[in-house]
Structure 1
Amino acid sequence: MKLENTFPNTIKTVEELREITGKPSELVNNKVISYLDEHCRGFIAKSSFLTLSTADELGFCDVSPRGDAAGFVYVLNDKQLIIPERPGNKRMDSMRNILSNPNIGLMFLIPGLGETLRINGKASVIHDEELLGKMAVNGKNPLLGIGVDVEECFIHCAKAFKRSELWNPETWTDKEELPKGAKILAAHAKLPNVDEEAIGKLLEKSYRDTLY
């Protein structure tokens, strides 16, 4: 169901948008390539974290984090890569979306680096023992994999990281003041006889025993 826009003074056309923002430079217009060259491969090899964006057949969007040791994403060739699927919460939001809508967007991060690598393409859910075995950790193969046929690759500038000072420890919130995942889960789930302490213990057990 499409909801009516409730925000005032919204932009309705690309022309209106361009009147405010202007047009991209020649450098920006020409930075997109359609394959994984040596620079993209080198970036992926050093990346330990990415965000994965998918949408279902109705366009409902989801962004999911993926992380592991640097180089955890397997580059099959200059047009294909595979993201291992480690044990998680079994919601399978990304994979369920991919089964109905293969369009996918990835953003690769390298800790300490402001620039990010963005890759767009078409995704498939992979269950291939030979390929998944190449991404085994501690003798355990990934449960599944997300294969991506690459259509676009480009570097995104560091302005967001510079503005946020994300990699500057001096700007980080004190640990005592950080939101508590267990507290939030308890408040949202509202399960009978399951409080913050119980959920905290479940999370710790999961982090300790089922990373792979």
Structure 2
Amino acid sequence: MNHKINNVKELRALVGEPSELAKRKVITFIDEHCEKFLAHSPFLILSTADSSGYSDASPRGDAPGFVIVLDQKRIVIPERPGNKRMDSLKNILSNPSVGLLFLIPGMPETLRVNGKASLTLNPIVLEKMAAGGKKPILGIEVEVEECFIQCGKALRRSGLWDPDSWAEKHSLPSGAEILAAHSRLPGTSVADIEARLEDGYKNRLY
């Protein structure tokens, strides 16, 4: 028996039609409401894919308002020091289509922005995004094609902002243990990786 949905007609029959509100909520530019949202957002998820469709989702975060609005059609995300894999950046060079999801702590609604990205070294723009006494390595400039608010059902269901729903710290998975198990780097212990992570968090955020 086939338990998969194979086309949009089948999917629509199952899910139903969107409301007029859902159909009409998409705009094609950054208006004053979206700009205010961005000014208070310290975190986003950047979704990219290469020319073959290999996809990636990557977090970006800094002080609220770290993403700057150049005008109603362009925003720029600073690229801070990381692990140098450059998954998102390489994808953008081969396929500029990106999706962004902006979050504000404590707020259930999120802001979705879709568009075309490019990598910029404009010194004026980079200077505006300086933090910790350092300019970003480069900027991810996004030409906005779609912009809309996402309702808060997912965040309410998850209890993301509710401390009472959070797991006890001692029960959480260890990033260092996961890295050690996955990388299997010869001569490197969990303690070594933990120290390496902490050093990066302390000394190489910017």
User: TM-score normalised by the shorter chain: which range applies?
Assistant: over 0.9
Output aligned runs, 1:112-131, within 5 Å.
Answer: 112-131=106-125
Deviation at 1:163, TM superposition (A): 0.6
Separation (CA, whole Å) in 2 of partners of 1:131 and 1:187: 40
Paired position in structure 1 for 2:188: 194
Gaps of 5+ in 1: 1-6
Residue by residue over 1:47-98, the C-alpha shift from the partner in whole angstroms, topping out at 9 and shown as x without a partner, is 0000000000000110000000000001000000000000000000000000
Output aligned runs, 1:13-92, within 5 Å.
Answer: 13-92=7-86
Separation (CA, whole Å) in 2 of partners of 1:169 and 1:50: 21
Aligned equivalent of 2:97, options 103, 107, 130: 103
Deviation at 1:128, TM superposition (A): 1.5
Aligned equivalent of 1:147, options 119, 141, 148: 141
Moved over 4 A (4+): none
Paired position in structure 2 for 1:4: none
Paired position in structure 2 for 1:156: 150
Deviation at 1:138, TM superposition (A): 2.4
Paired position in structure 2 for 1:169: 163
What residue identity is the alignment partner of 2:171? E
Secondary structure of 1:194's counterpart equals coil
TM-score norm. by structure 2 comes to 0.99
Aligned equivalent of 2:176, options 177, 182, 202: 182
Gaps of 5+ in 2: none
Secondary structure of 1:17's counterpart equals helix
Separation (CA, whole Å) in 2 of partners of 1:8 and 1:90: 43
Secondary structure of 2:129's counterpart equals coil
Tell me the C-alpha RMSD between the 2 structures: 0.9
Deviation at 1:139, TM superposition (A): 2.0
Deviation at 1:130, TM superposition (A): 1.4
TM-score norm. by structure 1 comes to 0.96
Secondary structure of 1:43's counterpart equals helix
Deviation at 1:188, TM superposition (A): 0.4
Q: 1:152 to 1:185 in 2, by over 3 A?
A: same
Identity across the alignment (%): 58
What residue identity is the alignment partner of 2:66? F
Paired position in structure 2 for 1:3: none
Deviation at 1:114, TM superposition (A): 0.3
Residue by residue over 1:97-127, the C-alpha shift from the partner in whole angstroms, topping out at 9 and shown as x without a partner, is 0000000000000000000000000000111
Separation (CA, whole Å) in 2 of partners of 1:180 and 1:70: 27
What residue identity is the alignment partner of 2:125? L
